[in-house]
């Protein structure tokens, strides 16, 4: 009969990080808002309906914390009614504000 000797497992050694590597803290990650340079456009399915534009980043991600209460509620409303009142949203580039 063969005897098996049990050993306690050891934690793997951590790899050293390069000097230039920056570890972002959770607070920094949460504070980093996407740059809202585009609009998430909800097109109405009916001619009488009004469309809805929500600020978003290039990939269509909406920064909910950056929205006011009314705009946040409109966004949730439009998302809930995709296929009934609105078509699938599309991402379009926001026009720059012209100052005179």
pLDDT digits (tens, 9 = 90+) for 18-55: 555 555 554 454 445 556 689 999 999 988 878 999 99
pLDDT digits (tens, 9 = 90+) for 54-93: 999 989 999 999 899 999 999 999 999 999 999 999 999 9
Residue 14 has pLDDT above 70, yes or no: no
22 found inside a domain: no
Q: What are phi and psi of 65, to 5 degrees?
A: -70, -25
Please give the DSSP secondary-structure letter assigned to residue 3.
-
Domain containing 84: what range? Answer: 35-93
Query: Whole-structure pTM over 0.85, yes or no?
Result: no
4 found inside a domain: no
pLDDT of residue 29: 43
68 found inside a domain: yes
44 found inside a domain: yes
């Amino acid at each position: 009969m063969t005897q098996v000797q049990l050993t306690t497992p050891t934690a793997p050694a951590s790899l050293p990080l390069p000097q230039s590597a920056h570890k972002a803290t959770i607070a920094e990650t949460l504070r980093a808002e996407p740059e809202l340079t585009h609009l998430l456009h909800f097109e109405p399915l009916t001619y009488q309906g009004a469309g809805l534009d929500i600020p978003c980043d290039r990939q269509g991600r909406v920064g909910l914390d950056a929205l006011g209460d009314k705009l946040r509620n409109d966004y949730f409303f439009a998302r809930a009614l995709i296929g009934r009142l609105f078509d699938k949203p599309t991402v379009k580039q926001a026009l720059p504000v012209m100052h005179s």
